[in-house]
Amino acid sequence: MDISIVIPLYCEEESLPELSAWIVKVMNENNFTYEVIFVDDGSTDGSWKIIEELSSENPNIKGIRFRRNYGKSAALNCGFAEVQGDVVITMDADLQDSPDEIPELFKMIKEDDYHLVSGWKKKRYDPITKTIPTKLFNWATRKTTNIKLHDFNCGLKAYKKDVVKCIEVYGEMHRYIPVIAKWAGFTRIGEKVVQHRERKFGVTKFGMERFVNGFLDLISISFVSRFGKKPMHFFGLWGTLLFISGAVIAGYLAYAKIFFDSYKMTERPLFFLGLLCMVIGSQMFLTGFIAEMLSRNSPDRNSYHIEGKIGL
Ligand code: UDP
Ligand code: MG
């Protein structure tokens, strides 16, 4: 099979018939063998009914239905577990992404040998309250992760099958799939300018809290990618530095007390600074030990992605 298209959706009943007809048209025109996997993320409207109908008319159209709303990352993750095609395309269900981009994305994965190609909505049709924070978000992500993409969170992306079978998308981490992929060793990451359209039906399913959560996730993911398997290297370093600074301050105060009899040393701001440094420093050290114990006991402490073997 050439292509698997994974479409996470939450209450998008109006868009589905048009989207599916458009995808099927593009697939037939290009003679692709394909499957479309709609992942219904606990919709409360008639989305699932429509998916059932579409599937009964065309066996290439498949569906997964969640019992409740778990979020876009969960939907993508379950879709990825089922895909069979050599190239996996993800797209949003709201008709903001155009299926006409699929043949070119397919070519970039198949012929140009990219692991992952991310869409770039260079000209966006979204309200300004979304486009400006998005620019900031993308800038911060580029700086933190060193991946040169303009539009990390574009719903339209293409992957080599290996990529989606290796990575795990959880929480709200769908915004950082290129980061997770790079971290798993898939470094050939490309970008393609894609058409973007205004939302035709319904409303966006993410509120303004997306930006707060997005930045918190960025901090977590860059921390976990650097220190996830060796937390003590972070906590130990900063704990030690803080503790030593505190000890130096305490030493100096003790020296001043003994030799110059400056008896009011507890009134000096420096005294409290020294105390604080020692307390926080030792707490960081303890946090490091606990984190180390957790990571040692985690079930995937020894899970590595093996790309190939010889003679075994
Ligand atoms: N979506 C989902 N689960 C959710 C929220 C959104 O599957 O909990 C789907 C949604 O139906 C759409 C895609 O994720 O297909 C992108 O969502 P949306 O268009 O609301 O986001 P925006 O375009 O505003 O970033
Ligand atoms: Mg949208």
**Nearest-angstrom CA–CA distance, 139 and 150:** 8
Ligand 1 pocket test target in 78, 92, 198 with most atoms within 8 Å of CB = 92
- Note whether 260 and 280 are same-domain residues: yes
> How much distance in Å is there from the Cα of 41 to the middle of ligand 1?
10
CA–CA separation, 40 vs 43, rounded Å? 6
What percent of the chain is modeled with pLDDT above 70?
99
Q: Any idea what the Cα angle at residue 168 is, between residues 165 and 169, rounded to 5°?
A: 125
Domain count, the chain: 2
**What pLDDT does residue 232 have?**
96
The candidate with the shortest Cα–Cα distance to 159, out of 109, 98, 92, is: 109
Reference 116, options 178, 48, 35; nearest CA is: 178
| Mean pLDDT confidence for 79-104 | 97
pLDDT at 260 over 90: no
Task: Please report, for the domain that includes residue 133, its CATH number.
Answer: 3.90.550.10
Same domain, residue pair 249 and 306:
no
DSSP structure string for 237-251:
HHHHHHHHHHHHHHH
What the block records as the tokens of 242 is 């803080």
Looking at the CA of 78, name the nearest ligand.
1
Task: Please give the order of strands across the beta sheet that includes 116-120.
Answer: 61-65, 34-40, 3-9, 87-90, 157-160, 116-120, 189-193
Considering only CA atoms, which residue is closest to atom 10 of ligand 1? 9
What gap in Å lies between CA 236 and CA 113, rounded to an integer? 41
Report, as an integer, the average pLDDT of 227-256: 95
pTM of the complete model beyond 0.95: no
Contact 36, 7 (CB under 8 A): yes
Per-residue pLDDT reduced to its tens digit, 178-203: 999 999 999 999 999 999 999 999 99
Q: What is the pLDDT of residue 242?
A: 97
Q: Residue 117 — pLDDT band, cuts 50, 70, 90?
A: very high
The answer on 77 and 192 residing in a single domain is: yes
The reported pLDDT for the residue numbered 288 is 96
Reported as a pLDDT band with limits 50, 70 and 90, residue 264 is confident
The residue segments making up the domain with residue 271 are 232-293
Length of the chain: 312
Give the Å distance between the CA of 9 and the centre of ligand 1: 6
* In a shared domain, residues 7 and 64: yes
Alpha-carbon distance of 248 to 260, in angstroms, equals 17
The whole-angstrom separation of Cα 186 and Cα 138 is 20
Kindly state if the Cβ of 206 falls inside 6 Å of ligand 1.
Answer: yes
pLDDT average, residue stretch 30-58: 97
* Model pLDDT, residue 302: 87
> Do 191 and 256 sit in the same domain of this protein?
no
Q: Which of 38, 206, 211 to mutate to test the pocket of ligand 1 (most atoms within 8 A of CB)?
A: 206
Average pLDDT over residues 135-148: 94
Residues 249 and 191 in one domain: no
For residue 142, what pLDDT is reported? 95
Ligand nearest to the CA of 13: 1
Q: Where are the beta strands (DSSP E) in the chain?
A: 3-9, 34-40, 61-65, 87-90, 116-120, 157-160, 189-193
The DSSP call for residue 268 is: S
Is residue 253 within 8 A of residue 271, CB to CB? The reply is yes
Q: Is the CB of 211 under 6 A from ligand 1?
A: no
Quick: pLDDT tens for 164-173. 999 999 999 9
- How far away, in angstroms, is 155 Cα from ligand 2 center? 8
Question: Looking at ligand 1, which atom is closest to the CA of residue 8?
Answer: 7
* Predicted pLDDT of residue 155: 96
Tell me: do 216 and 266 sit in the same domain: no
Burial 54-63 (b: 16+ CB within 10 A, else e): bbeeeebbbb
- Is there a single domain that holds both residue 207 and residue 183? yes
Mean pLDDT of the chain: 94
Instruction: Tell whether ligand 1 has an atom less than 6 A from the beta carbon of residue 205.
Output: yes
Q: Confirm or reject: Cβ of 9 under 6 Å from ligand 1.
A: yes
Q: Are residues 180 and 43 in the same domain?
A: yes
Residue 187 and residue 261 in one domain: no
Mutation to probe ligand 1, out of 41, 72, 169 (largest number of atoms < 8 A from CB): 72
Same domain (yes/no): 269, 257 = yes
Same domain, 210 and 236: no
